[in-house]
Amino acid sequence: MQSKHRRIMRDQLDKTFEKLSKARGVQPPVKGWLRSIRESLGMSGKQLGERIGVSQPRIVQMEKDELSGSLTLKTMRQAAEAMDCVLVCAMVPRTSLDETMRNQAKKVAELRLSRTSHTMLLENQLVSNEEMKKMLDDKIDDLMRDMPKDFWSNKL
């Protein structure tokens, strides 16, 4: 995919994430969403089970599985529908996607420039801090535009 298209996709997703930014701080209830909503509605485990076609002991297990993180999205969706809820599942970046990419580009650029700096030092070709910052900024821009195949590799 061309960098222009990736940039457009990042911008569009970042606009969506702005709307979801408050969701980052939302913590699930201590008892989990299923049990908390079910109890708030005054619905018994048996009644919820009847609504989705499972036994009351299965509802207890589902509530435990939610807390452990092993309940499937499909099952959560079924339980949500049975309680007139909508399951909302999203991955929300800590920062913008552009910022995430820029941070990675900076890591890669710093690593690559440190190798170059070491070689230049050996050849007695010192670069000023200002020149080094300019080189770093240029390298970051190049990496963001060209995005080499090893951009996200841990083995740089």
Show the tokens assigned to 112.
């690559």
Range of the domain at 73: 21-82
* Residue 64 within a domain: yes
pTM: 0.73
Question: Residues 116-141: pLDDT tens digits?
Answer: 665 555 455 666 778 888 989 999 99
CATH of the domain at 62: 1.10.260
Structural domains in the chain (count): 2
Interval 47-80: pLDDT, tens: 999 999 999 999 999 999 999 999 999 999 999 9
- Is residue 74 located within the same domain as residue 117? no
C-alpha of 73 from chain center: 17
Q: Which residues contact 135 (CB under 8 A, 6 or more apart)?
A: 113, 127
In this structure, is residue 109 part of a structural domain?
yes
Position 94, amino acid: R
Report yes or no on 151 lying in a domain: no
